[in-house]
C-alpha cells in the first residue's frame, strides 16, 4: 500500500511521498496543501484504524512521553541532515534511481543493524 500511495502521489500530483518533507512543508506558500493535508490525514487515519483493529501489532510496551519526544527530535534532526526520511529515500528515491537516496538508505539501514546488534546484546 505504501508503494501504491507513493506512485499515486508522484503520478497524480508530481510529488514525492516523503513524510518528513510533506509534514515540514504543510504550511508552505507553494500551494501544495491540496496534496499535503489530505495525505497526512490519510496517514494518521490509517494508523488509527490499524491500531484499533490490531492493537497488539504496535508493540506491548508504551514508552514514556519524554523518551518519545527525544526520539522525535532525533528523527527530525536526522531527516533534516539527510534531506529526507525513510519513505522519501527508501520508497520514492530508490524507485526513481536516485544515487543520493541509495547512499541514504545504506546509511540508515547500516545504522539500524548496528543499533539492533548493540541493543540486542544488552537484552
Residue 6 and residue 15 in contact, taking contact as beta carbons nearer than 8 Å: no
Q: What are phi and psi of 99, to 5 degrees?
A: -65, -40
Q: Give the contacts of 3 (CB within 8 A, at least 6 positions apart).
A: 91, 95
Residues 58, 104: Cα–Cα separation, whole Å: 26
Q: Which domain holds residue 58?
A: 2-122
For the chain, what is the domain count? 1
Residues 15-72 pLDDT 10s = 777 788 788 788 777 766 777 888 889 888 988 898 889 888 777 667 788 988 898 8
Tell me the percentage of the chain whose pLDDT exceeds 70: 93
Amino acid at each position: 500500500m505504501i508503494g501504491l500511495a507513493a506512485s499515486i502521489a508522484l503520478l497524480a500530483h508530481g510529488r514525492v511521498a516523503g513524510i518528513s518533507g510533506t509534514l515540514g512543508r504543510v504550511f508552505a506558500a507553494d500551494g501544495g496543501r491540496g496534496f499535503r493535508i489530505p495525505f497526512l490525514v490519510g496517514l494518521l487515519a490509517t494508523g488509527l484504524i490499524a491500531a484499533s483493529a490490531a492493537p497488539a501489532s504496535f508493540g506491548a510496551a508504551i514508552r514514556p512521553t519524554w523518551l518519545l519526544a527525544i526520539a522525535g527530535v532525533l528523527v527530525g534532526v536526522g531527516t533534516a541532515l539527510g534531506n529526507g526520511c525513510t519513505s522519501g529515500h527508501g520508497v520514492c528515491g530508490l524507485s526513481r534511481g536516485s544515487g543520493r537516496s541509495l547512499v541514504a538508505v545504506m546509511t540508515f539501514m547500516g545504522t539500524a543493524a548496528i543499533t539492533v546488534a548493540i541493543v540486542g546484546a544488552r537484552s
